[in-house]
Amino acid sequence: MDRLKQKPELVAGVDLETIELADEARAVLNKVDGQTECAQIVAAMGGSWEDLSSHFDSLERDGVIQFPVQVTENKSQKKCDLNQEEQDMIVAQEELLREGNYFEILNITPSARGSEIRKAFLAGSKRFHPDMYFGRKLGDFRKRMEIIFRAMKEAHDFLSEDEQRKVYARKILEEQGLADDMLETEDMEAQEAIEEELDPERRARLELIEKQRREKDEKRQRLEDRRRQIKDQRRSRVPAEGNLKKAKDLYEMGMEQIRAGDLYSAAASFKLASTFSPHNGEYRHQFKETQEKAVEQKALGIAETADLDASAGNPAQAAREYAQASDLVQKNERFAVRAAEEYFKVDDYDAAWFYANRAVKAAPRSKKSRVVAASVLEAKQDYEGALVHAEMAQSIDKEDANVKKMVKRLAKEAR
C-alpha cells in the first residue's frame, strides 16, 4: 500500500512530551494530526521520502502514531457481492453471537428440545454457511460467516446433550425470571407441563411421539441384543479345522445334488455346511437360494397334478392342489388365480376370494387376477368391490369385450 497517500494519526493516551525522540522524528511527529498525508508532511519538512520514511515506521512500531485501517475495510466491502439484505442478516446474527445465549444463537426458545434444536441448526446452516454463496465474492464476510456457522454448530452440539441442555435452560429461565417474574423459576419440567396443559391436542401429540420413540428405542435395543447374541454365539463357535473341511465337503455334496436335480437334499447339505462354518456367508446364501428353488420346484409339481385334475373335470381336487401350490409360493400369480377359479367353480366363494385377493396382491396390474377377483366378489354380491376390480381390468385391457360387459353389468348392480 502506498504510505505517501495515507494520513497518519496520533495514538490516544501517549504522552508526547516524555518520549525520547531524535529531532527529525520529533519534527515528523509534530506534523501528525490525522488530516495530513505523509507526502505533505515530507514536503513541509523539505526532506525526501527515502530519508524520512524510517521515522514513520519506527513511530508506528513504538505505538506513537498509527495508520487508519479504514482503507482496507472499504476495499474488502467493495469486493463483496452480497446484497444489503444478506449483509444485514449477517450483521444481525453477529449481534446475537456477541450478546445471545445458545438458544438465541439458534433463534429458538429455551423450551426447545431435540428435533427443534436440530431443525434450527440446519435452517441456520442454510443461511450462513459460505457454500450457500458459492461463486460470489464474499470479501471479509466469508470469515464472518464461518464464525457464525461455527457458533451455531457449537450451540447445536451443546444443546443436543439432553442433561446439559436442561441445566442450561433452567439457568437462563431463572435469570430472566429474576428480572421480571419470580414464578418463572419453577422447575423446567413443571413449566413444560403447564404449557402442554394449555393445549391438550399438543400434549396428546407429544405423548404419541414420545411413545413411538420409546417403542423404537425398545425395538432398537432388542435388535441390538439379538445381534450381539448371534455374534457371541458365532464367536464362541470358532469353527475347528475339521469343521471347515466338513462344511466344504457338504457344500461340494450340495453342488452335486443340485446338478442331479435334488434341490431339497442340496438345501439340507448347505444348511448343514453353514452350521459347521457359520462365518461363511456363502453357505447361508446358497441355503436360502436353494431352499427357495426347491419349494418352487415342489409347487410346480403340485400345480402340474392340479392341471391334470382340472382338465379331467375334477375342480374340487384341482382347487385344493392349486391352493397348496399357492401357499408354498405365495408370490406366484398363476397358482392363486387358478385356485380361485377352481374354488369358484365349486361355489366355495370364501376360499375363492382368499386366493383371488392373494392373486391381486401378487400381481395388481394383471387382468386375470382382477377379473377373477371381480367375478368372485360379484358372486358374493359385493358389487361395488367387484366394480373396482373390473374397472381395473378394463384399464389394463380396454379392448376386452367380456370385461366391458362385466363393468356395465356391475355398474348397474352397484347402483
Partner 1 sequence: MLTHIIGIDLGTTNSCVALVDKDGPRVLSGAGDKRTVPSVVALTAEGKCIAGSTAHEQAITNPENTFYSFKRLIGRRWNSRDTQEFAGKVAFSVSASESNAVEVDFGGKKVPVLQISAMLLEELKSLAEEALGEEVEYAVVTVPAHFNDRQRQATRDAAKIAGLTVVRIINEPTAAALAYGFGKKLGQRVAIYDIGGGTFDVSILDISDGVFEVLATAGDANLGGDDFDNRIVDWLYEQIEKDHGVDLRDKKDLRPRIKQAAEKLKVDLTGKSEATISLPYLAQKEDGSYINVDMRLNRAMLSELVDDLVMKTIDICKQAMEAADTEIGAVDQVILIGGMSRMLALQAAVEDYFGVPPSKALHPDEAVACGAAVQGYMLKEGELDTLLLDVTPQHLGLVISGNKFETVIEKDTTVPARARKIFTTTRDNQESLRFRIAQSSDLSFDEFEPIGEFLLPNLKALPAGAVKIEVIFEVDTDGIVQVSATDKDTGEMQQIEISGPGEMEDDHIEEIRVFNRTVQGLPVVNANGEIVEAPVQGAGDQGAVAGESQESLPEESSGDAEDNAAADESPESSPEESVELEAEPES
Whole-angstrom CA distances from 232 to 40, 237, 241, 271, 360 are: 86, 8, 20, 20, 43
**Rule CB under 8 A: is residue 123 a binding residue for partner 1?**
yes
Do 242 and 250 form a contact (C-beta atoms < 8 A)? Answer: no
Which residue from 224, 232, 292, 397 is in contact with partner 1, where contact means CB under 8 A? Answer: 224
Handedness of CA 317, 323, 326, 332 (dihedral sign): positive
Distance CA 364, CA 378 (A): 18
Q: How far is the CB of 66 from partner 1 (least distance, A)?
A: 15
**Rule CB under 8 A: is residue 118 a binding residue for partner 1?**
yes
**Residue 307, helix vs strand vs coil:** helix
Q: Scanning residues 262 to 281, which ones bind partner 1 (CB under 8 A)?
A: 273, 279-281
Q: Which three cell numbers stand for residue 404?
A: 366391458
Which residue from 7, 26, 31, 153 is in contact with partner 1, where contact means CB under 8 A? Answer: 153
Which residue from 284, 298, 380, 409 is in contact with partner 1, where contact means CB under 8 A? Answer: 284
Q: Please list, in sequence order, all residues whose beta carbon lies within 8 angstroms of the beta carbon of residue 335, skipping any fewer than 6 positions away.
A: 299, 303, 322, 325, 326, 329
**Rule CB under 8 A: is residue 255 a binding residue for partner 1?**
yes
Do 79 and 135 form a contact (C-beta atoms < 8 A)? Answer: no
By CB under 8 A, the count of residues binding partner 1 is 39
Angle at 413 between CA 412 and CA 415, to 5 degrees: 70
**Rule CB under 8 A: is residue 130 a binding residue for partner 1?**
yes
**Rule CB under 8 A: is residue 137 a binding residue for partner 1?**
no
Q: Which three cell numbers stand for residue 412?
A: 348397474
Q: How far is the CB of 159 from partner 1 (least distance, A)?
A: 15
Angle at 346 between CA 345 and CA 348, to 5 degrees: 105
Which residue from 37, 116, 146, 391 is in contact with partner 1, where contact means CB under 8 A? Answer: 146
Whose Cβ is closer to partner 1: residue 31's or residue 153's?
A: 153
Which residue from 137, 205, 211, 219 is in contact with partner 1, where contact means CB under 8 A? Answer: 219
Beta strand 9-10 with 65-66 is antiparallel
Which residue from 1, 13, 23, 134 is in contact with partner 1, where contact means CB under 8 A? Answer: 134
Which residue from 75, 119, 213, 235 is in contact with partner 1, where contact means CB under 8 A? Answer: 119
Adjacent-strand bridge partners of 9: 66
**Residue 65, helix vs strand vs coil:** strand
Q: What binding mask, one character per residue, do residues 329-368 give for partner 1 by CB under 8 A, x or -?
A: ----------------------------------------
Which residue from 56, 141, 251, 335 is in contact with partner 1, where contact means CB under 8 A? Answer: 251
Whose Cβ is closer to partner 1: residue 259's or residue 415's?
A: 259
Residues near partner 1 (CB under 8 A): 118-119, 122-123, 125-126, 129-136, 146, 149-150, 153, 216, 219-221, 223-224, 227, 244, 248, 251, 255, 258, 273, 279-286
